[in-house]
Amino acid sequence: MRKIVFDIETANIFSDVGSADPAALDLAVIGIYDSETDAYSTFLQNELKNLWPILERADMLIGFYSENFDLPLLNKYYPGDLSKIGHLDILKEIRKQYGRGMKLDQLAEGTLGRKKSGHGLEATKWWKDGKTEEVRKYCLDDVRITKAIYDYAVANQKLLFKEGKELKEIKLDTSDWEKPGDNKMTFSMGF
């Protein structure tokens, strides 16, 4: 099964565009981990043509808050419908099974013993300041954390998170996470 773990950083924020719709934002960088090649990559907006063949051949996309943010934004650039690819949003699964959400940073600290390297607003500022390589690095750091959290959850049927100084456990049923879905990609581009 070819899994793509992904994360997006934006070139602007909601207050810049006067909308709470993720598709109103502009993509700065998308970072991915491709299980088929065991490699991490980033793509700028003008490089998306190189990303589409990878996504179109994926069995599953994995993200954190990706169903309501990353996918709608990325779909704005794609000439087809990326929601046709199997998709797992870790935050959605946590909300479904634990009853509430939390930040990726809380999960990174609790489960992995480390904090994120920054936050999205910093990345947007770096982008506006022309620090493209810093945004790429930050985005891939989030992809690495998302992949590690996913792998830990599948192996242990749980995640841990920090709330204040307290470490709490989220029991997760991940038995369906790696089953191929019925989603079949319709290739919309002639590669």
Residues 142-176: pLDDT tens digits? 999 999 999 999 999 999 998 888 899 999 999 98
Mean pLDDT of the 60-88 span: 94
The answer to whether residue 186 scores a pLDDT higher than 60 is no
Mean pLDDT of the 71-81 span: 94
Q: What is the pLDDT of residue 118?
A: 72
pTM listed for this prediction: 0.91
Helices 132-156 and 90-98: angle between axes, nearest 10 degrees? 40
Alpha carbon distances (Å) from 97 to 109, 131, 173, 191: 20, 38, 8, 40
Q: What is the pLDDT of residue 180?
A: 62
The answer to whether residue 110 scores a pLDDT higher than 60 is yes
Residues 126/76, Cβ–Cβ less than 8 Å: no
The answer to whether residue 191 scores a pLDDT higher than 80 is no
**Residue 83 burial (10 A CB sphere; 0-12, 13-18, 19+):** middle
The answer to whether residue 117 scores a pLDDT higher than 80 is no
Q: What is the pLDDT of residue 38?
A: 98
Alpha helix segments (H runs only) across the chain: 14-17, 48-56, 71-75, 90-98, 104-107, 120-128, 132-156
**Residue 77 burial (10 A CB sphere; 0-12, 13-18, 19+):** middle
Mean of per-residue pLDDT scores for the chain: 91
- Domains along the chain with CATH numbers: 3-171 (3.30.420.10)
